[in-house]
Amino acid sequence: MSEPATNAPLSPRQLFWKRLRARRSAMAGGIILAVLYLMAVLAGFVAPYHYESDDRDRFFHPPILPKFDGLRLVVPRWEQKEGQFKYAPIASDTKPIRLFVQGDKYKLFALIPCQTHLFGTGEKSHPIYLFGTDQYGRDVCSRILYGSQISLSIGLIGITLSFSFGMLNGGISGYFGGRIDTGIMRVCELIMSIPSLYLILALRNTFPSNISSTQAYAMIIVILSFIGWASMARVVRGMALSLRERQFVLAARALGATPWRIITRHILPSTFSYVIVAATLSVPYYILGEVVLSYLAVGIQEPQASWGNMLTAAQNTEHLRNYPWLLAPGAAIFVTVLAFNFLGDGLRDAADTKST
């Protein structure tokens, strides 16, 4: 009689991945984010134009979309009509879209000077403005790609900073208890009790008004992290309070482990499943924080592109009515936030083994 085949039980990690893969929306969110981050890293290459290159003949140009001509994708030439900023395509005059065309100069990874772009026509007479141009004639699609570098990285760096700081404080607070706990928690509550928008603006004003874009970028991260760590610290502190009563913590103490070792090697790793989910669901707030700051003109400055400062054109209702493609950064924000939320929900459901 042959042995029945037995499946070895899955390790917790394998079980988690299996459950995550079963959730379609989470996988979709994850794939979208992977694509967005990849495009952000290669922004100069993927974008057909540089974020500063302005086309003085084509202010407020509507989106130029490619069409199929047989099996090729082609782009028509547009010409100016009477009236201000009115354009129309000439269907007969088309040029094909090619890959790896030469175009504006840029620096790949901010280091390597490069001139090759992923796609384009290669002809100045036939520009390809997938989302049209803005008030200075700059390609909105390219600026969205360059802006994604700022917005997406602020999200990741911001949560890394604030969650590291928050986890550490939460672990220390929960493990030691007593006056240390009280002190740290009161500070957290103080930070959380001030409405975040006002806190952000107040913190912004502690920095000088005219700062370079790199400094603005660092400042935004510092401000958002300063606000963000408090809520993470509170939750981690609660988890630490219960974890420190567990027997493996007592066993570690009985072996002479220092409090630092217990907190960092035993208590905090047990909070990871919560922290990772909370981090994924918090990234949108950092992205939106940057959008708010730049929208209010106290964040990333022109000519640097960020999703926030591109939306300042949305303040003008005339522009919105006549040139709605200027809202494309809003669509980018929407897709990004949705993807993070789907992924975060999926991670949370996959980690919670008590649910299906």
Partner 1 sequence: MLLDIRNLQLEFGTGRDAVRAVNGVSFTIAEGETLCLVGESGCGKSVSALSIARLVPTPPARYVGGEILLNGRDVLKMDQRELRSIRGGVVSYVFQEPSASLNPVFRVGTKSRNRSSSTARSSPPTTKSSAC
Six-digit token string for 236: 């981690």
Nearer to partner 1, 50 or 266 (CB): 266
* Residue 185 C-beta: closest distance to partner 1, Å: 17
- Rounded to the nearest whole angstrom, what is the least distance from the CB of residue 269 to partner 1 in the complex? 4
- Any contact of residue 269 with partner 1 (CB under 8 A)? yes
Measured from the CB atom, the residue of 178 and 208 that comes closer to partner 1 is 178
**10 or 35: CB nearest partner 1:** 10
Q: Which two tokens stand for residue 64?
A: 């130029």
Q: Are 128 and 62 in contact (CB under 8 A)?
A: no
User: 265, 308, 57, 74: which is closest to 175 by C-alpha?
Assistant: 265
Burial track 330-343 (b if 16+ CB lie within 10 A, e otherwise):
eebbeebbebbbbb
Q: How far is the CB of 254 from partner 1 (least distance, A)?
A: 5
Residue choice 31, 72, 91, 177 for contact with partner 1 (CB under 8 A):
177
Residue with tokens 């504006």: 104
Output 61 or 266, the one with its CB closest to partner 1.
266
Query: Shortest gap between Cβ of 236 and partner 1 (angstroms)?
Result: 15
* Total residues found in the chain within this entry: 356
Rg of the chain (C-alpha set): 25
- Two tokens at 315? 């303040």
Each residue 327-356 as x (binds partner 1 by CB under 8 A) or -, in order, gives ------------------------------
Binding residue (CB under 8 A) for partner 1 from 257, 276, 335, 338? 257
Residue 75 backbone phi and psi in degrees, to 5: -125, 130
Residue 111 or 254: which CB sits closer to partner 1?
Answer: 254
Q: Find the binder of partner 1 among 178, 179, 206, 315 (CB under 8 A).
A: 178
Which residue among 115, 258, 316, 353 contacts partner 1 (CB under 8 A)? 258
DSSP state of 81: -
Judged by CB under 8 A, the stretch of 103-111, 258-266, 299-307, 341-349 that binds partner 1 is 258-266
Residue 289 near residue 307 (C-beta atoms within 8 A): no
The answer to whether the beta carbons of residues 300 and 308 sit under 8 Å apart is yes
Run of H or E including 111: none
Number of residues that bind partner 1 (CB under 8 A): 20
Nearer to partner 1, 154 or 240 (CB): 240
Piece of 115-123, 256-264, 292-300, 347-355 that binds partner 1 (CB under 8 A): 256-264
DSSP state of 312: G
**Token code pair at residue 155:** 């999200």
Closest CB to partner 1 among 167 and 227?
167
CB nearer partner 1, residue 112 or residue 254: 254
Q: Is 256 helix (H, G, I), strand (E, B) or coil?
A: coil
Which of 98-106, 184-192, 260-268, 318-326 is the region at the interface with partner 1 (rule: CB under 8 A)? 260-268
Query: Is 195 strand, coil or helix?
Result: coil
- 298's CB contacts (< 8 A; 6+ apart) are 201, 204
- H-helix segments, the chain: 12-21, 24-41, 43-46, 140-176, 178-193, 196-205, 213-243, 247-254, 259-262, 272-295, 307-310, 317-322, 328-351
Quote the least distance from Cβ 182 to partner 1, whole Å.
14
Sketch the per residue contact string, 216 through 255, with partner 1: x for CB under 8 A, - otherwise.
Answer: ------------------------------xxx-xxxxxx
Give 34 or 250: the residue with its C-beta nearer to partner 1: 250
248 vs 334, beta carbon nearer partner 1: 248
Where does this chain bind partner 1 (CB under 8 A)?
Answer: 177-178, 246-248, 250-258, 261, 265-266, 269-270, 272
